[in-house]
Amino acid sequence: MTRSSLALACLLGAVAWPVPSRLAAQAADTVAIAARYQAVADRLIDAALADSSAWQRLAELTDRFGNRPIGSASLERALDWILEQMRSDGLEHVQGEPAMVPHWVRGEESLDLVEPRRTRLPLLGLGGSIGTPKGGITAPVLVVGDSNELAAHAAEARGKIVLFDTPYVSYGVTVQYRWTGAILAARAGAVAALLRSVSPFEMRQPHTGITHYDSTARRIPFAAISIEDAAMLHRMQQRGQRVVVTLKMEARTLPDAPSRNVMAEISGSERPDEVVVMGGHTDSWDVGTGAMDDGGGVVVAWEAVRLLKRLGLRPRRTVRVVGWVNEETGDDRGGLAYRDDHAADLAKHVLAIESDGGVFRPSGFGFTGSDSAFAIVRAVGRLLARIGADTISRGGGGSDIGPIMERGVPGMGLNTDGTRYFWYHHSDADTVDKLDPREMAECVATMAVMAYVVADLPEPLPRGPVRAP
């Protein structure tokens, strides 16, 4: 403390300066949390960084079972394996909780350029799309840059395949075309639609993802092509060349299928009925091996709980890891089933944490909850300063924990360096080799410290009015 600040402190004390009590309490929390938990946080960080077990486990999961689309045998085998491993880790209350999930299958699919030259183009049908008739659809292509351009050329779209060659702005912005492209194209009379893949990076790789229909337009097949091929077809059209393709898709939706949320925990030493829950989603698209999205999210939460077990750390409250099922289609049946199965205990869910943004270098968390809870989790976040994961920002959560956040459970999403996430997202390139063992270990440390400390605080995180970010 400097001389002048000492003088100021004395002055403040002498005149009983009206420091708002909330700020004083927050300052006290920060000091108390640092004093009480820095040593255990350092132990967790050191132990997490000492090996590459998270990366190894993710590699084994994805090598053994590959991708894990909902309704598939590979997902169910992966869930069996996760439960078996959780048991052999010595975790408690290992169980699967049933959920019925939508079941869309891709089948065979292809896209052939017929005019102005013959060649096959890489293609990925979008999740939920209908298929084409057996012989496919052969039609001229109308390339548009965006929905305004489609509106301006709507008269030319009838009977054609509309290709949206929409440049990537951000995932949140550009993905709108993946969600609504089939509706926009069908309204203009198109017989099918194609999408320039929603990604900032070109590897001549299509990226899939869910799409939607509504009652305003006929359902037409919708599929993604690579950024490079979208640009090429666009150039051909600009040269005045007639572009014709044959699109074949066997995609179809089957009846809902049974699946499960998988979970395990370390029961709390004093308040086992109060819970910090964390995890990611076990399902992936049917391409690549779903390592980033979201096998890695499940594994870092799981490894964080296993780390507590290995170090013999049992917090006051229960820490539970959950692999939720069915995030990718946007139906969140796993998150909804968890909400309903645990409806009676949600008042005692102290915090829910999701990792679903890729397990790259962690920067901290985004938090949704009350002001007083935010002050506490920020103080906990400071324990992660030495690995640079100490930034706790307002606003955050995840699709899988969304249903319980709506019921008042404070929520948090792991924030990581997202630079490369959408390069690989929903493509054949989503494989474990893109992930760094050290960065994954840092994610484990970050999840473990936050979960352990919040689960061990003398008082539960205060609920209360949630302020928007």
Active-site positions? 327
- 121, 226, 246 from 118: Cα distances, Å: 10, 17, 10
Shorter beta-carbon distance to Zn ion: residue 131 or 357: 357
Query: Which residue reads 């009379």 in tokens?
Result: 189
Q: Residue 403 CB, nearest distance to Zn ion (Å)?
A: 16
Q: Which stretch binds Zn ion (CB under 5 A): 89-97, 180-188, 354-362, 369-377?
A: 354-362
- 65, 66, 68, 325 from 73: Cα distances, Å: 9, 11, 8, 14
Residue 35 CA to residue 30 CA, distance in Å, equals 9
Shorter beta-carbon distance to Zn ion: residue 356 or 390: 356
Residue 449 CA to residue 308 CA, distance in Å, equals 9
The DSSP secondary-structure symbol of 466 reads B
Residue 13 CA to residue 8 CA, distance in Å, equals 9
Nearest residue to Zn ion, scored by beta-carbon proximity: 294
Q: Residue 281 CB, nearest distance to Zn ion (Å)?
A: 6
Q: Which two tokens stand for residue 26?
A: 């927050």
Under 8 Å between Cβ of 230 and 198: no
Under 8 Å between Cβ of 340 and 398: no
Q: Residue 368 CB, nearest distance to Zn ion (Å)?
A: 18
Phi, psi of 47, rounded to the nearest 5 degrees? -70, -40
Q: Which stretch binds Zn ion (CB under 5 A): 94-102, 210-218, 348-356, 376-384?
A: 348-356
Q: Residue 399 CB, nearest distance to Zn ion (Å)?
A: 7
Shorter beta-carbon distance to Zn ion: residue 293 or 303: 293
- Total residues in contact with Zn ion, by rule CB under 5 A: 3
By three-state DSSP, how is residue 211 classified? coil
What is the chain's length?
A: 469
Q: Of all residues in the chain, what percent are helix, strand and coil, respectively (each to 5)?
A: 40, 25, 35
Q: Residue 378 CB, nearest distance to Zn ion (Å)?
A: 26
Q: Between the CA atoms of 185, 190, 192 and 196, what dihedral angle is there, to the nearest 10 degrees?
A: -50
229 touches Zn ion (CB under 5 A): no
By three-state DSSP, how is residue 198 classified? coil
CA angle 379, 384, 390 (to 5 degrees): 65
Residue 191 CA to residue 142 CA, distance in Å, equals 11
Shorter beta-carbon distance to Zn ion: residue 294 or 430: 294
Rg (the chain; Cα; Å):
25
The count of other CB atoms within 10 Å of the CB of residue 190 is 28
Q: Residue 298 CB, nearest distance to Zn ion (Å)?
A: 10
Binding to Zn ion in span 317-336, by CB under 5 A: none
Q: Residue 198 CB, nearest distance to Zn ion (Å)?
A: 14
356 touches Zn ion (CB under 5 A): yes
Binding to Zn ion in span 281-300, by CB under 5 A: 293-294
Shorter beta-carbon distance to Zn ion: residue 302 or 452: 302
Q: Residue 20 CB, nearest distance to Zn ion (Å)?
A: 40
Spatial strand order of the sheet with 362-368 comes to: 92-105, 252-266, 317-324, 271-281, 349-354, 411-416, 362-368, 391-394
Shorter beta-carbon distance to Zn ion: residue 314 or 425: 425
Q: Between the CA atoms of 428, 431, 436 and 441, what dihedral angle is there, to the nearest 10 degrees?
A: 130
Shorter beta-carbon distance to Zn ion: residue 237 or 427: 427
439 touches Zn ion (CB under 5 A): no
Q: Residue 359 CB, nearest distance to Zn ion (Å)?
A: 11
Q: Which two tokens stand for residue 437?
A: 């063992």
Shorter beta-carbon distance to Zn ion: residue 248 or 260: 260
Shorter beta-carbon distance to Zn ion: residue 181 or 297: 297
The count of other CB atoms within 10 Å of the CB of residue 169 is 12
Where on the chain is the footprint of Zn ion (CB under 5 A)?
293-294, 356
